Amino acid sequence: MGEPLLARLIADGPPSLWEWFARNWDTGRAGSVKDLLGDHLVMSLVPIVAGLVLALPLGLASARWRWLYQPTAGVFNVVYALPSLPVFMLLISVTGLSKTTVIIPLTFYAIAVLLPAVVDGLGSVPDHVRQSAVAMGFTPLRRLVQVELPIAVPVVLAGLRVVAVSSISLVSVGALIGQGGLGMLFTRAYQNPFLPPVIVGIVLIVALALVADGLLVLAQRLLTPWVRARRAS
């Protein structure tokens, strides 16, 4: 649909885009852009948060018992490698055509990225720093919470930024099973070649990703002033 669509966009111009957006933002019926945005947020945020919550203990265990790491990381990588469609098919039989069917694979993807980030983050704690924490009389739990995890934060946050952006973008795939959030705007356009919804969908998804990334960068600055200070020097 290259040439004619593009031509039409140019012919229609931005006013019709805005007009379409304003008309469809809040129609009061299901499927308004506002609803889709809300769905999109839920389906991308839940995997990010759940991924982090699950990757932390898995990462801690993998760092503690190294032999656990490769098999665990392997499982999540294999799931990551599976094409989404058959995964959805499989899940639909359990969870039906619901948001959960999208949230579950995205959570797996998040873990696939965050598990190595947690393990590498803990690995980034210099040995002499860990040793001196031991020597000063930290108990293992206190050492983890007050020394090792804070030092791991920059690496984990870098992973989280990748997860946030990819998760926000990947939700659209859920449109395949009618749960794509803003991705639904693309399938509609596919049935009826009309461009404004596609543009609105892309812009909103990119904007969402940028906002999420910005918030994470802000979190990074607040949580790890010692890294920012290092860059400034």
Partner 1 sequence: MITFDAVTKRYADGTVAVDNLSLEAPTGEITVFVGPSGCGKTTSLRMINRMIDATEGRILLDGDPVQDIDPPKLRRGIGYVIQQAGLFPHKKIVDNVATVPLLLGWDRGKARSRAMELLERVGLDPAMGERYPFQLSGGQQQRVGVARALAADPPVLLMDEPFSAVDPIVRTSLQDELLRLQAELNKTIVFVTHDIDEAIKLGDRVAVLRVGGRLAQLADPKTLLSEPADDFVREFLGHDRGIRRLQFVGTDGLRLRTDLTVPAGFSGGSPEPWVLAVSDDGRPVGWLRGDGGGEPEPYGTFRPGRDSMRSALDAALLSPSGCAVAVGEDGKVVGVATREVLDAALAEAADG
- What does the binding site for partner 1 look like in residue numbers (CB under 8 A)? 126, 128-129, 131-139, 142, 147, 150-151, 153, 224-226, 229-230, 233
* Residue number, 139 or 191, with CB nearest to partner 1: 139
* Residue number, 122 or 204, with CB nearest to partner 1: 122
Q: How far is the CB of 13 from partner 1 (least distance, A)?
A: 53
Distance CA 195, CA 5 (A): 7
For 65, counting Cβ atoms within 10 Å of its Cβ (0-12 exposed, 13-18 middle, 19+ buried), the class is exposed
Distance CA 113, CA 100 (A): 20
Residue 49 CB partners (closer than 8 Å, separation 6+): none
**For 86, how many CA atoms within 13 A lie in the half-sphere containing its CB?**
5
Q: How far is the CB of 130 from partner 1 (least distance, A)?
A: 8
Distance CA 85, CA 91 (A): 10
Biggest distance spanned by C-alpha atoms of the chain: 72
- Report the Cα 80 to chain-centroid distance in Å: 13
> Residue 228 is which amino acid?
R
* Residue number, 11 or 141, with CB nearest to partner 1: 141
* Residue number, 93 or 139, with CB nearest to partner 1: 139
Distance CA 71, CA 75 (A): 6
Q: How far is the CB of 123 from partner 1 (least distance, A)?
A: 15
For 119, counting Cβ atoms within 10 Å of its Cβ (0-12 exposed, 13-18 middle, 19+ buried), the class is buried
Q: How far is the CB of 153 from partner 1 (least distance, A)?
A: 8
Q: How far is the CB of 196 from partner 1 (least distance, A)?
A: 49
Q: How far is the CB of 157 from partner 1 (least distance, A)?
A: 13
* Residue number, 3 or 127, with CB nearest to partner 1: 127
* Residue number, 106 or 133, with CB nearest to partner 1: 133
